[in-house]
Structure 1
């Protein structure tokens, strides 16, 4: 019984209200009515204390001092939820939402991954800046009023390409080359081909068929 009593006495703690007078890489220094203490932030105190904060500290009989909670902070001062090590927010049931009036930023020195059954992004304006992108999917469906693409090079490899447009315009400054096994152009009204010099050649047959053929 004496040994147990001694152990309980060693592990006792007194609580005081203190003010943070120093905060940095070297730890925290708090000022209480009983004196100044070099302290550590308790694992449950996720809000990182800052200079000037009113905090609740636990002074252990073994000599350690821990900041348990931030009680008050100057109005409008920024705050940071900080933890040394990996941190996971887990909800066995329910929904997690992040809401902010001025904005939400996600910053990572390495990777950011999102895994979900469905992802929806809604915004009035958006921008995406990446050095490289890879997309693997089964279906892409888009309804867009205007698309503008400026690129140094565009390469695509497709099994099939189908396009249905009302009007199509292409402006090629240098070379426009098509290589295919078969090419079929059909126009309901008129087809016009014009060039400074035009060459047509075939290995076997060249055929011109029409009600009238004008040469020259």
Structure 2
């Protein structure tokens, strides 16, 4: 049933309040004037009623519909139950979500946007497997620290590193190999080892 089906009947009927006794899927059992009666949640009632809630009822023919949740005696959080394919839209405008803590849980999440801006004082991310495909990446940082068990990097064309000082250390084997090797120093070139083989 959609939001406007039976609207004429609902508009002409008197509304009444009832207590929610139980819920089984989309079917509800209510206490109305001391007796139990079945009801369904109206399509436009987004707040999912819970047992113990006081709800507003409307009737279309012989079917009673929960139009709204009037009062909740317990401390159960509000849950907005949207149907499959629901959309929150602000066409041509702006949609804001504001909260002290925002939690998103989903089995699959897709984000499609022309421009993405993220601003955070601290960011923590945990991923089982991460794949990134980009045309260009530019990174500016005061300090970058990476700790890896294994690291592989494959550069198809050229790689350039420009720094004031470069310190590379290997606790095991250090292997440098190229078709042409050129080492230049303006002041001093020093080789130190228990054995040095040239040629």
TM-score interval for Structure 1 and Structure 2 normalised by the shorter chain: 0.7 to 0.9
Is the partner of 2:84 in helix, strand or coil? Answer: coil
- Provide the aligned C-alpha RMSD in A: 2.3
Q: Distance in 1 between matches of 2:179 and 2:87?
A: 57
Contact map agreement 1:59 1:66 (CA 8 A) in 2: yes
Is 1:139 the counterpart of 2:128? The answer is no
Contact map agreement 2:26 2:41 (CA 8 A) in 1: no
Q: Distance in 1 between matches of 2:186 and 2:164?
A: 14
Q: Distance in 1 between matches of 2:45 and 2:81?
A: 9
Contact map agreement 1:13 1:61 (CA 8 A) in 2: no
1:82: Cα distance to partner? 1.0
Q: Distance in 2 between matches of 1:198 and 1:124?
A: 51
Q: TM-score, normalised by structure 2?
A: 0.84
Is the partner of 2:15 in helix, strand or coil? Answer: strand
Point out where structure 2 has 5 or more consecutive residues left out of the alignment.
Answer: 1-7
Q: TM-score, normalised by structure 1?
A: 0.78
Is the partner of 1:68 in helix, strand or coil? Answer: strand
Is 1:185 the counterpart of 2:183? The answer is yes
Give 1:213's aligned residue. none
Point out where structure 1 has 5 or more consecutive residues left out of the alignment.
Answer: 1-7, 202-216
Q: Distance in 2 between matches of 1:194 and 1:25?
A: 78
Residues 91-100 or 139-148, more deviating: 139-148
Equivalent positions of 1:7-26 (< 5 A) are: 13-25=13-25
Equivalent positions of 1:148-187 (< 5 A) are: 148-158=145-155, 159-187=157-185
Q: Distance in 1 between matches of 2:30 and 2:188?
A: 88
Residues 98-153 of structure 1: per-residue CA shift (max 9 Å, x gap):
1102x1111112x2111111111111211111122221222211221221212222
User: Are residues 40 and 99 of structure 1, via their aligned partners in 2, closer, same or farther at CA, if it must alter by over 3 Å?
Assistant: same
Give 1:66's aligned residue. 65
Q: Distance in 2 between matches of 1:175 and 1:24?
A: 67
Aligned length: 190
Give 2:90's aligned residue. 91
